[in-house]
């Protein structure tokens, strides 16, 4: 009896590491819940049934205003990678239009950020392409330099000291690539730099920061704040920043001061462009919809219908009070139309 009990315990310990047969059918006693989320770890929200046909939403709150300019021309088949040139160009143009308008308009903004995340710009996926991010940066920089203004393109350097120096993996080698990039006719007006108080020069008109982010043990926020003071009222643009706290030893980014750090990131920096795709957690396929914010001034929730070449995008709702949140997004995406 003791031997049988022992073998049973060993079997129980080994069971979790036995790999399932690829392609073998799986059986569930009940359907798994669903939350529609976006790339980049935005996973908060409520659940609903994927297999129950969705919910019927009777209210008409936040319907698009009459004549609203929607972007139903969002590219199709975005899970096909690498993306064709015309797909990338759609995102470059959409983001550039909003960013440039924000910092050069009648009432120019000085601290802005843009978040753009489709498959080639998802650092959590296996098709992330740093070249796509740098091509986007080049489009924005060249548009700002078109009238002869100087633009400094910045990527953070290593943080820490000695053997403890570190750099986010997604930014590894970016500084070297920037030095080799072709800036076309705007080459003489575009310079490269890092992030810090000694970076801005008197003749710099705009600053573009490529994905500034914290790492374990070190925060980029002090460097960013020093750079802000030196730049004064000159516009600084952050593209795909990741400035959330990363817990580590040494009392770095601890609970103390978290409210101030969060307020700095959310209140000081105004989001002028946002695009992210919506999925079922934790997968990146299929795509259920998209959330967009741009020059229209309202947050736009799109739902994708059809498959392959028959895909089409429909604008479901618009919001003028910020990101609608995962609960609202899930409710609308799963609704019967």
Omega cis (within 30) before 282: yes
Residue 43 pLDDT > 50: no
Please report the pLDDT score of residue 61 as a whole number.
78
pTM of the shown model: 0.78
Q: Which residue would you say has higher pLDDT here, 54 or 333?
A: 333
How far, CA to CA in Å, does 270 sit from each of 108, 115, 145, 229, 316? 12, 11, 22, 17, 25
Interhelix angle 130-144/85-104, rounded to 10 degrees, is 40
Please report the pLDDT score of residue 75 as a whole number.
95
Q: Which range among 36-45, 251-260, 276-285 has the greatest average pLDDT?
A: 276-285
The pairing of strands 36-38 and 190-193 is: unpaired
Residue 35 pLDDT > 90: no
Give CA–CA dist 334/50, Å, rounded. Answer: 8
Give DSSP secondary structure letters for 268-290: ISEEEEEEEEEEETT---S--EE
Q: How many Cα atoms are found within 13 Å in the side-chain-facing hemisphere of 246?
A: 12
DSSP SS3 for 66: coil
Return the C-alpha torsion angle 80, 178, 190, 275, nearest 10: 30
Residue 4 pLDDT > 80: no
Of 135, 137, 145, nearest to 186 (Cα)?
145
Residue 285 pLDDT > 90: no
Residue 24 pLDDT > 50: no
Residue 164 pLDDT > 90: no
Give the range among 41-55, 160-174, 187-201 with minimum mean pLDDT. 41-55
Q: Which domains does the chain possess?
A: 82-275 (3.40.50), 279-337 (no CATH)
Please report the pLDDT score of residue 149 as a whole number.
95
Q: Which residue would you say has higher pLDDT here, 159 or 136?
A: 136
Q: Which of the four pLDDT bands, split at 50, 70 and 90, describes residue 247?
A: low
Residue 122 pLDDT > 80: yes
- The whole-number average pLDDT for the span 198-202 is 96
């Amino acid at each position: 009896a003791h031997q049988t009990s022992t073998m049973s315990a060993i079997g129980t310990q080994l069971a979790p590491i036995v790999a399932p047969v690829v392609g073998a059918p799986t059986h569930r006693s009940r359907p798994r819940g669903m939350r529609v989320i976006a790339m980049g770890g935005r996973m908060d929200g409520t659940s609903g049934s994927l297999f129950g046909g969705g919910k019927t939403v009777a209210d008409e709150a936040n319907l698009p205003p009459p004549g609203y300019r929607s972007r139903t021309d969002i590219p199709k088949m975005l899970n096909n990678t690498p993306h064709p040139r015309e797909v990338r160009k759609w995102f470059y143009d959409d983001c550039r239009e909003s960013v440039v308008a924000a910092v050069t308009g009648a009432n120019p903004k000085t601290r802005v950020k843009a978040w753009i995340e489709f498959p080639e710009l998802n650092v959590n996926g296996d098709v992330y392409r740093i070249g796509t991010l740098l091509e986007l940066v080049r489009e924005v920089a060249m548009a700002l330099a078109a009238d002869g203004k100087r633009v400094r393109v910045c990527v953070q350097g290593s943080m820490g000291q000695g053997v403890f120096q570190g750099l986010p993996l997604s930014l590894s080698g970016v500084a070297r690539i920037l030095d080799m990039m072709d800036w076309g006719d705007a080459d003489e007006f575009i310079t490269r730099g890092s992030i810090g108080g000694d970076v801005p020069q008197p003749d710099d008109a705009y600053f573009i920061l490529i994905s500034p982010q914290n790492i374990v043990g070190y925060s980029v926020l002090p460097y960013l704040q020093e750079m802000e003071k030196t730049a004064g009222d000159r516009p600084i643009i952050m593209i795909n920043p990741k400035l959330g706290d990363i817990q580590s030893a040494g009392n770095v980014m601890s609970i103390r001061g978290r409210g101030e750090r969060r307020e700095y990131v959310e209140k000081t920096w105004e989001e002028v462009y946002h695009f992210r795709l919506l999925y079922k957690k934790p997968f990146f396929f299929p795509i259920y919809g998209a959330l967009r914010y741009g020059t229209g001034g309202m947050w736009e929730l799109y739902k994708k219908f059809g498959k392959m070449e028959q895909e089409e995008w429909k604008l479901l709702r618009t919001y003028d009070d910020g990101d609608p949140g995962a609960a609202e997004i899930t409710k609308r995406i799963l609704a019967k139309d």
